[in-house]
Amino acid sequence: MPKLTKRTVDALQATEKDFFLWDSELPGFGVRVMPSGRKSYLIQYRDAGRRTRRKGLGKHGVVTADEARTEARAQLAAITQGSNPAEEKRKKAIAPDIAALCERFMSEHVAHRCKPSTQNEYRRNIDRFIKPALGKYKIEEVTRAQVSELHQRFHDRPYQANRNLAVLSVMFNRAELWGLRPDGSNPCRHIRKYPEKQRERYLTDAELSRLGATLQELEASGEESLASINAIRLLILTGCRLGEVLTLQWDYIREDAIWLPDSKTGAKKVYLGPATLEVLEQIERLPDNPYVITGIKPGSHLINLQKPWRRIRAKAGLVDVRIHDLRHSFASSAVGIGESLPMLGKLLGHTQPQTTARYAHLADDRMKAAASRVSSEIAAKLLVAQ
């Protein structure tokens, strides 16, 4: 057995069958020659079960004999300490990838811990952004640099970039819990979220009047379904979230209030004014359907209000108004007539004062007017005193 060098390996001739030539100086280090003439360096060793194992080190010509020898020496030394490179390679080959982690995350975590609306949002982020970018990579292989690159890719859409990062962070936390990544290895750590500018759009009195007239016109003409029209009216009059209105059941309505068994913030009570009760009284109750805003299929509720809303807002000249802006407009109207922020928080079902605090600036005009009245009153008395 000669020492494996470039010269000795170059001189090896292919035969009808592949054969091995082992190094004279480093036991376990060799080269394999295939009938095709391909030559590859490898190591051979016995694992803990005394089975013969082989691990490739690279193709001759791509890897030099000296480079292969250095790598062989390192791996053979590691084997004496209990390492098994062939088994590690096998485990890596069959290890689950990010696409598989996504599906396990959705079925074992999201399906049991999150509300339907959140489940839909997670699914959207996973299918549209996370899987296409990282799905083929093994779970242990994903690095902070890769996650950062995905985050930066949507720098012009900070909300989407941050949602992707949030979903990935929760998913990698679960991967650690499931033993698929080492503890503390979440690659989302230390990646700073982009600042998100809160979008605030409130309907003016004139815009509310225009929207109301449009709804009446569409109801009379039959151009839009009554379910869509009534859903929008309830959104405006209650300040409820879209999902709360679409899944509202008749059994939840008791006298002058809605008792929601579940919402984004848990169970809550929504008080109803006379105008809201009047809208509810005009909605036909179907004997085989428990929902107030009914869908096309028997026993179902309306699923998608976005398409009808786009048509309605276009007709009303409110093309920049989102459905959630109707909730903001409810808050704006409440502050405008003098309701306090704590009261507004109760009306909207907020559990944290800081959530309601975003509407504090809406009271500025009212406060300025009060300050003007008080200062004018005092100034008038000062003038009299002179």
Residue 151: pLDDT over 70: yes
Domain boundary among 65, 94, 123: 94
On whether residue 149 sits in a domain, the answer given is yes
User: Can you give the pLDDT at residue 255?
Assistant: 84
295 and 211 both lie in a single domain: yes
Residues 138, 81, single domain; the answer is: no
pTM exceeds 0.75, yes or no: no
In a domain, 385, yes or no: no
Which among 69, 94, 119 is the end of a domain? 94
**Residues 88 and 102 occupy one common structural domain:** no
Co-location of 308 and 233 in the same domain? yes
**Mean pLDDT on 43-59:** 84
241 and 352 together in one domain: yes
Residue 370 pLDDT greater than 80, yes or no: no
Give me the number of domains the chain comprises: 3
Q: What is the CATH number of the domain that holds 39?
A: 3.30.160.390
Q: Cα–Cα distances in Å, from 311 out to 60, 201, 239?
A: 67, 19, 21
Q: Please give the pLDDT value at position 178.
A: 93
Per-residue pLDDT tens over the stretch 329-363: 888 777 777 777 677 677 777 766 666 666 666 65
383: in domain: no
Q: Any idea which of 119-123, 128-132, 370-374 has the lowest mean pLDDT?
A: 370-374
The top-scoring range by mean pLDDT among 145-154, 204-213, 261-270, 352-361 is: 145-154
**pLDDT at 386 exceeding the cut of 80:** no
Span of 170-179, 299-308, 363-372 with lowest mean pLDDT: 363-372
Q: Do 333 and 265 belong to one domain?
A: yes
121 part of a folded domain: yes
In a domain, 379, yes or no: no
For residue 63, give its domain range: 6-94
Residue 384 belongs to a domain:
no
**Same domain flag for 243 and 349:** yes
| CATH code for the domain in which residue 114 is found | 1.10.150
Confidence (pLDDT) at 165: 96
* pLDDT computed for residue 81 by the predictor: 77
Domain edge (last residue) among 177, 194, 216: 177
Burial of 238 (0-12, 13-18, 19+ CB in 10 A): buried
Of residues 376 and 314, more confidence is placed in 314
Please tell me whether residues 218 and 355 are part of one structural domain: yes
> Is the separation of the CB atoms in 193 and 162 below 8 Å?
yes
**In this structure, are 234 and 271 located in the same domain?**
yes
Are 226 and 271 contained in the same domain?
A: yes
In a domain, 191, yes or no: no
Within 13 Å and on the Cβ side, how many CA atoms surround 72? 28
Are residue 355 and residue 250 in the same domain, yes or no?
yes
pLDDT in tens, 66-114: 999 999 998 888 887 777 776 666 666 666 899 999 999 999 999 998 8
Are 224 and 362 in a shared domain? yes
Residue 184 domain flag:
no
Residue 174 predicted with pLDDT over 90 = yes
Q: What is the pLDDT of residue 363?
A: 57
CATH number at residue 349: 1.10.443.10
